[in-house]
Amino acid sequence: MTSLHPYALLPNTTEFPPVEQALSEPNGLLAIGGDLKPQRLIAAYRQGIFPWYTLGSPLLWWSPDPRCVLRFEDFKLSRSLQKNLRNKAYRVTFDQAFREVMQACAAPREGQDDSWITQAMLDAYYRLHQSGVAHSVEVWDGEHLIGGLYGISTGRVFCGESMFSKVTDASKIALAILVEKLQEWDYCLIDCQITNKHLTRMGASNMPRIEFVRLLCEERDKLTVPEAWKSTPS
């Protein structure tokens, strides 16, 4: 570390400090301030940086070490999830209800009073969705949205942001279908950002930040098939 404090971002620029300058405590805090304009968000994700803050706090930018990632070959399907996928009890779509998925992800969780997905975040990522950069997966029971996830596509890396479930396994179904399709579309992995027990049980693991950033730099300019996101997988 070269500083004991996060770097203050300058207005009217998309420049970030090197991720190696991120604090070790709190892990990954790199910069403060700036805005959520599309150009800044895209520049951040291309460098392995993401915003994460709560309502009323300054805008904070992070690049933790290690980085939680999900390699497709490591994805684990529980027996109950395999059964749900075989039965096809639910319908899964892509990019059909992006704002609704984000709103559901932003709803208060058990034990939480507020969400880091503020209205400003929702509006900013919806703009990215409109430009074809941010994507969602939706799980439906009839006409009811019961689960899903959203994230950012950066070349051949999909940066997962958040997921939600209103019924058991709904978000896992969204992730399972996403893993299947990303493999078909020649993506290389999913960036899960920060480790948690839920992701670890599904096969996610830690990667040193230097290794993750090196991979991201190799993959961020490679073409994928954005039009495929408008398809209905099942």
What are the pLDDT digits (tens) for 59-96? 999 999 999 999 999 999 888 888 888 887 899 999 99
| Spacing of C-alpha 228 from chain mean position | 18
Q: What is the DSSP string of 135-168?
A: EEEEEEETTEEEEEEEEEEETTEEEEEEEEESST
Q: Residue 221 and residue 154: Cα distance in Å, rounded? A: 8
The 3-state DSSP class for residue 93 equals strand
In whole angstroms, what separates CA 97 from the centre of its chain?
Answer: 16
Report the alpha-carbon distance of residue 5 to residue 29 in Å, rounded.
9
Which fold is adopted by the domain 7-64?
Alpha-Beta Plaits (3.30.70)
Q: What's the pTM?
A: 0.92
Q: Do domains 7-64 and 68-230 have the same CATH topology?
A: no
Domain definitions of the chain by residue range: 7-64, 68-230
Give the other-Cβ count within 10 Å of 185's Cβ. Answer: 15
Tell me whether strands 157-165 and 189-193 are parallel, antiparallel or unpaired: parallel
Fold for 68-230, please state it.
Answer: Aminopeptidase (3.40.630)
Q: How confident is the model at residue 21 (pLDDT cuts 50, 70, 90)?
A: very high
The confidence band for 39, taking pLDDT boundaries of 50, 70 and 90, is very high
Does residue 1 register a pLDDT over 60?
A: no
pLDDT at residue 233 tops 80: no
Express each pLDDT in 143-169 by its tens digit: 999 999 999 999 999 999 999 999 999
Confidence of residue 173 (pLDDT cuts 50, 70, 90): very high
Task: Tell me how crowded residue 116 is: count the other CB atoms within 10 A of its CB.
Answer: 17
pLDDT of 112 higher than 60: no
Q: What is the C-alpha to C-alpha distance for residues 149 and 171, in angstroms, rounded to an integer?
A: 7
